[in-house]
Structure 1
Amino acid sequence: MINDTSNGIDIQEQSDVRMQADHRHGFQSVVPPTSSKPNGWTVLSASYIIKDAFRLHTLLAIGAGLQAILSAAAPKPWCFLPTAALLVLSPVVTFVQMVRPLLSIHGKWLTHSFLAGVVPGRSTAHLRTKGRLFGGQSASEGASGQGLVVFHFGARFNHPLGVLAPGARTMTKLFRATLSALSEDRTAYGLMGGDLFRGGASTRVSNDTILLVLYFRDVEGLQRFAGSAAHREAFQWLREVTKLGDDGKQKYSHLSAFHETFMVAPGAYESLYINTAPILLGNTFTEISQDDDGEVGEDDRSGENKLPIWHNSLVDADDNRLQTMKARLKQSL
């Protein structure tokens, strides 16, 4: 078993299920199926936000302040230990990562490896048409016929205090609750997967923009989620604190939020990933139910003996039918 906690996925080797997944869409899967619900895009820790929320000189000032406090409180020989440990450990860890990028202990890959989760070679995302599993479809008839909806949602704190700005904590809390609710009922909403990014335009002072990229099977599923209790609560709060009052002012004018929706027809999308860990459309999954006896069926969770297995969309792009952009567009029809 390989545990890849870098993207929140516990990848379990199941060769029999993988063979059925290959036959399912007529192409060779490059990521083994998993019995754990993929939800790496919901991870929004404090360190994730804080790292890019402050400018470099602010981070240096914080470090210098902490070192000054330590120097005043501890005897001189001891106050230099944190700096010494950092100076020693940093090059050692970097050297180990360079020499043994896939270092493992007891069969588990170390999560600090930069190659953790990377799929070697060329791969592409191929989406299974909803409701079609085998259906007499042979390997040469692997076209997807599946459209999708791409949804971008983002937020930013336009304030010198970044994540410590007034209202930022509440906004982050509601954002996390929304992601949790979406992940919990992802099948009902037709959510295939997504990715979470941070950063911002190079022309801005801070890089604290949070961008969530999600992929839905259809716009109806996205609209169902828009009507969910978690989303309504977050949207109502944001609307109240950013609406213009009679005096033309807002309660929290420094809070920003945005979203974009793209409806993509079958045959109007393709992808290519080279030595890349599952990302964006390549980080989407289809939930398939497996009987206790190993039989794979449709997306039906009604039976008590059904075990949910999640199949990644990535397949081998060196297949003759997927080697060019034109061919990949054709296979998405």
Structure 2
Amino acid sequence: MTARLDGDFVVFLIGMRFNRLWRVDRWAPVVAAMPRMLRELAQKPELGFLHGESYFGRTTLMLLYWRSLDPLLAYAKAKDARHLPAWAAFNRAVGTDGSVGIWHETYLVGPGRYENVYVNMPAFGLGAAGALVPAVGPLASAQGRAAHGGRRDGASAESR
């Protein structure tokens, strides 16, 4: 299978790192804030959030998909959403004391600028954010999937 998502989208990676594991008082509130934000986003699809996956370890990773950069930035700055208070609390409690690290990376993706394949996998990542389609014909190879610009119909960028 391969995943397709019509139009542009954003891949947003965000996470934290436990720099001082014994400072539970510093990292526990950071850990607790993310599930609340994800529940809020899942309950309000109009905010532009498409899907997310979580990975835990000393450095955590959240793999998030957004419709575009504008809704992502709007959520980050919204006074009536859960993110801004969580960010303010982090800065008050942790700031730059080094006990907890946080990070994020934002990737703007357009049609024809991505490729993926899923074998023996449930809907995952972009396959859960978009739509899974059979990786057959022109979509059977990585080059073919990338060349078809994210179109579900398999039409190549050259034929449009």
TM-score (norm 2): 0.83
Asked if 1:149 is matched to 2:27, the reply is no
Separation in 2 of the partners of 1:314 and 1:243? 41
TM-superposed CA distance for 1:160, in Å, is 3.6
Structure 2: which 5+ residue stretches go unaligned?
151-156
Separation in 1 of the partners of 2:147 and 2:56? 33
Letter in 2 for 1:233: P
Separation in 2 of the partners of 1:277 and 1:158? 34
Asked if 1:257 is matched to 2:102, the reply is yes
Asked if 1:175 is matched to 2:20, the reply is no
Give the structure 2 partner of residue 159 of structure 1.
Answer: 20
Give the structure 2 partner of residue 20 of structure 1.
Answer: none
- For residues 261-272 of structure 1, the aligned pairs below 5 Å read 261-272=106-117
Separation in 1 of the partners of 2:143 and 2:118? 16
Give the structure 2 partner of residue 276 of structure 1.
Answer: 121
Letter in 2 for 1:256: G
Give the structure 2 partner of residue 11 of structure 1.
Answer: none
Separation in 2 of the partners of 1:267 and 1:160? 42
Structure 1: which 5+ residue stretches go unaligned?
1-122, 130-145, 200-207, 245-249, 286-312
Note the aligned Cα RMSD (angstroms).
1.8
* Contact 2:20–2:99 under 8 Å retained in 1: yes
Separation in 2 of the partners of 1:179 and 1:193? 9
Deviations, residues 233-260 of structure 1 (Å, cap 9, x unaligned): 111111223335xxxxx3xx21111111
% identity of equivalent residues? 28
Q: Kindly name which structure, 1 or 2, has the bigger radius of gyration based on alpha carbons.
A: 1
Give the structure 2 partner of residue 232 of structure 1.
Answer: 84
Give the structure 2 partner of residue 85 of structure 1.
Answer: none
Deviations, residues 180-200 of structure 1 (Å, cap 9, x unaligned): 212111x2122221211123x
Equivalent position SS for 1:166 = helix
Separation in 2 of the partners of 1:234 and 1:275? 38
Asked if 1:329 is matched to 2:146, the reply is yes
Separation in 2 of the partners of 1:194 and 1:176? 11
Asked if 1:124 is matched to 2:2, the reply is yes
Separation in 2 of the partners of 1:160 and 1:237? 19
Give the structure 1 partner of residue 54 of structure 2.
Answer: 196
Separation in 1 of the partners of 2:15 and 2:92? 18
Deviations, residues 4-35 of structure 1 (Å, cap 9, x unaligned): xxxxxxxxxxxxxxxxxxxxxxxxxxxxxxxx
The total of aligned residue pairs comes to 148
Separation in 2 of the partners of 1:325 and 1:152? 23
- For residues 195-214 of structure 1, the aligned pairs below 5 Å read 195-199=53-57, 208-214=58-64
Letter in 2 for 1:231: H
Separation in 1 of the partners of 2:95 and 2:20? 18
Divergent runs of 4+, >6 A? none
